[in-house]
Chain A
Amino acid sequence: MRFKVFGAALFAAGILAAPAAQAQTEIQWWHSMGGTLGEKLNALATKFNASQKDYKVVPVFKGSYPESMTAAMAAFRAGNAPHLLQVFEVGTATMMAAKGAIVPVSKVMADAKEPFNPKAYLPAVAGYYTDSKGNMLSFPFNSSTVVLYINRDAFKKAGLNPDQVPRTWKEMNAAALQLKVRGQECVYTSGWPSWMHIENFSAWHNVPIGTKENGMAGMDTVFSINSPLHVRHLTMLGDMSKKGLFTYAGRTNQAEAKFASGECAMLTSSTGAQGNFRANAKFDWSVNFIPYHDDVQGAPQNSIIGGASVWVMSGKKADDYKGVAKFFAFLSTPEIQMEWHTGTGYVPITMAAYEMTRKSGFYDKNPGADIAVKQLTNKPPTANSKGLRFGNFVQGREVIEEEMEGVFAGKKDAKTALDDAVNRGNVILRKFEAANK
């Protein structure tokens, strides 16, 4: 240790002797944006670095979301965590509970006296990352939601009007049946089964996913996804699966490939898939609101987000946090938000950025690109629809998906599957609660 200090002193002396331009503070940012998204992210960092001289943001790609999160945990234990860490939405509760490991974004901004107004962000986005006292804990970065895509050509071929997109599950079933009868092999498929058919389904119908405001008001939450409405919906999906009207494709975005290739005519999946379809789909398609059950009062409510936010890790120098605050202020500007939104398909996270994009005419040229924002802001979020916060939800979501798979395979009925999901999920929640007392 002593050598380290000595070395650092020597190094500092060397730096002091060098021209002042070298005295830049580096800010490490670990993220999980590969491919094109990674390039866009690097472009943001480069732009920020060019905009001022004091700080340098260094983005480091650390693999998939769970991988970079695990890497950061190990790094934190070893005492060399990055300044910034991009964490997917299901990791939110885990990060939040790690009070000693993170610094709330609202505190970072206040300490650095950077202008920061949480009200400027879309409520459905900000709410997800805000604690029950109204402090924003992490910086919303890439947010998406789930939408309904339809293959307009397939609709026409089946004698359906492609402008009359199914709005309810009843209409969805009718359209699916017609498509099937007219020879469409795969009618409807869905990515992210739990995110779409449990989490967003609940928010969209204004029913709770768990007690305590979906876990946002306390860690002593229990799942409530075995309500009659949930059972009814999963039973319907199981029936559709049996009749060949619904094709299960896997737990992540495998279904998107089935839609892009034209194999399946309808798809519910992330808004983030639009870029892929624009580039690869050789047919006419449209983006729409996800269906709802029309006999449920208050439906449709609003959908909830997915994607990731940026967390600030603790234990860095005060000056570093000033740089972090500056970077967040930079990321919040409408120009930068618009660039990110239009370039990636993620949702613009501030109302100002949405307005700016609308005025630029982007939505006229790319119909459907604004569906996500419209759906997220369909109604002011309620306790059931502002998001969710369940401990170890990476595990929890897999339990739910395992049980759903049992129904799709025809091995379990929906009631038993959801009861089992609740029981198994609650065990995970209790374990998390015990570890984070």
Chain B
Amino acid sequence: MEKRVVFRSAWLPYALLAPQIAITIVFFFLPAAQAIWFSFLVQDPFGLKTEFVWLQNFKELFGDSHYLDSFKVTAVFSVLVAGFGIAISLMLATMADRVIRGALAYKTLLIWPYAVAPAVAGVLWAFLFAPSIGILTFVLKRMGIDWNWIIQGDQAMLLVVIASVWKQISYNFLFFLAGLQSIPKSLIEAAAIDGAGPTRRFWTIVFPLLSPTTFFLLVVNIVYAFFDTFGVIDATTQGGPAGATQILVYKVYHDGVKAGDLGGSSAQSVVLMAIVIALTVVQFRFVEKKVQY
């Protein structure tokens, strides 16, 4: 039997929803509609001359090999960020869950990076890894590694992945910890009595029971990698070197704001919109079915 709250008033639910809907319309639907409209236009940055060109912008976009490269970069980047972000925080949460003494201190410290803005996280890591003055660069040089992300694309990618993951771990950690604490201790104790070791208990009991949390975090992390990492990239590599860290959302910003190509940039954001809608649908329709609640 589902619990349901039923509104008897005809207007009250709408009135309560109105502020949220108004915000959604003004800040999401209107700009999105404008982006779709702009994606069919070619115009100069001052808006003096506007020409309707149908799908010209999209045609140019998919004919541009660098745009296609940006897809690859985004795929690699989001898989790495979501993968490492979830794996590391799950490990940390499992460990923190078992700590008895000083647990609060550990948890607080682990949650801390979440309060750091993406741009600040980016700058922080960029300093640590700075090609000529970074402390970590110094250590790497001692180990004989030529570290220079200004010019080495792979290293630049590694840098933005590290900064993005570091920043997201806290968020994931919080959810995993809450998820772990809601798993009934009796289940784990029963398994322990039956002779299952910690590893086995984790994979056969804890991990499946955590799957709703993991699934939720997968969605959130991919969206994070797609959009919120903008600050990290803008503050460090700015998409370089040679486009090695130019993820889709950064290219939208770059082409629209820095390069003044509103039509091309709008077409890109329409593509991005379609990707995110598709991803969300796939995740909820197919992945969710396999999740045990």
Contact = CB atoms under 8 A, between A and B. Distances in A.
A in complex with B: yes
Interface of A: 66, 69-70, 73, 76-77, 94, 97-101, 248-251, 254, 257-258, 261, 263, 392, 394-395, 398, 402-403, 405-406, 408-409, 411, 424, 427, 431, 434-437
A258 B241 contact: no
Interface residues of B, number: 30
Contacts of B240: 251, 402, 405
A422 B254 CA distance: 20
B70 to A, nearest CB: 12
Give 8 nearest A-B pairs by CB, closest first. Answer: A395-B259, A101-B46, A402-B242, A98-B46, A405-B241, A100-B48, A405-B242, A77-B47
Interface stretch (B78-86, B148-156, B187-195, B217-225): B148-156
A408 B150 CA distance: 11
B260 interface: yes
Interface string B237-250: 00011110000000
A431 B241 contact: no
A418 to B, nearest CB: 14
Nearest to B238: A251
A261 B131 CA distance: 14
Given A263-B132, A394-B258, A402 B243 contact: yes
Nearest to A403: B242
Given A249-B132, A263-B132, A395-B261, 9 more contacts: A69-B260, A70-B257, A77-B47, A100-B46, A394-B259, A402-B242, A403-B242, A408-B151, A436-B49
Interface in B109-150: 131-132, 150
Contacts of A248: 150-151
Interface of B: 42-49, 51, 60, 64, 66, 131-132, 150-153, 240-243, 255, 257-261, 263-264
Contacts of A101: 46, 48
Nearest to B148: A248
Query: Counting chain A CB atoms within 10 Å of each CB, which of B242, B263, B264 scores highest?
Result: B242
Given A101-B48, A249-B150, A66 B257 contact: yes
Contacts of A257: 132
A66 B258 contact: yes
Contact of B151 (A76, A94, A409, A435): A409
A90 to B, nearest CB: 11
B255 A395 contact: yes
A73 B132 contact: no
Nearest to A100: B48
B221 to A, nearest CB: 29
Contact of A98 (B44, B257, B263, B264): B44
B44 A97 contact: yes
Contacts of B48: 98-101
B255 A73 contact: no
A395 B259 CA distance: 5
6 contacts: A73-B47, A98-B48, A249-B150, A395-B259, A405-B240, A409-B242
Contacts of A427: 60, 64
A73 B257 CA distance: 10
A395 B260 CA distance: 9
A73 B261 contact: no
B152 A73 contact: no
B255 A98 contact: no
A99 B45 CA distance: 12
B46 A431 contact: no
Nearest to B48: A100
A77 B260 contact: no
Contacts of B260: 69-70, 73, 94, 392, 394
| Majority DSSP secondary structure for residues of B touching A | loop
Nearest to B47: A77
Contacts of A405: 151, 240-242
Contacts of A392: 259-261
A356 to B, nearest CB: 38
B241 A409 contact: yes
Nearest to B53: A434
Contact of B42 (A94, A99, A434): A434
B150 A424 contact: no
Contacts of B49: 435-437
Contacts of A436: 44, 49
Given A73-B45, A402-B240, A424 B259 contact: no
B265 to A, nearest CB: 11
A260 to B, nearest CB: 11
Contacts of B131: 249
A70 B264 CA distance: 16
Contacts of A263: 132
A431 B242 contact: no
A249 B45 CA distance: 31
A403 B242 CA distance: 7
Given A73-B45, A436-B44, A436-B49, A409 B261 contact: no
Nearest to A64: B258
Contacts of B263: 435
A73 B152 CA distance: 35
Contacts of B153: 409
A425 to B, nearest CB: 12
Nearest to A102: B46
A402 B244 CA distance: 10
Q: Which of A98, A398, A403, A435 has the most CB of B within 10 A?
A: A435
A406 B47 contact: no
A427 B261 CA distance: 12
Contacts of A77: 46-47
Contacts of B151: 248, 405, 408-409
B140 to A, nearest CB: 16
A98 B43 CA distance: 11
Nearest to B41: A435
Nearest to A409: B151
A258 B261 CA distance: 34
Contacts of A434: 42, 51
B239 to A, nearest CB: 9
Nearest to B257: A70
A74 to B, nearest CB: 9
B60 A76 contact: no
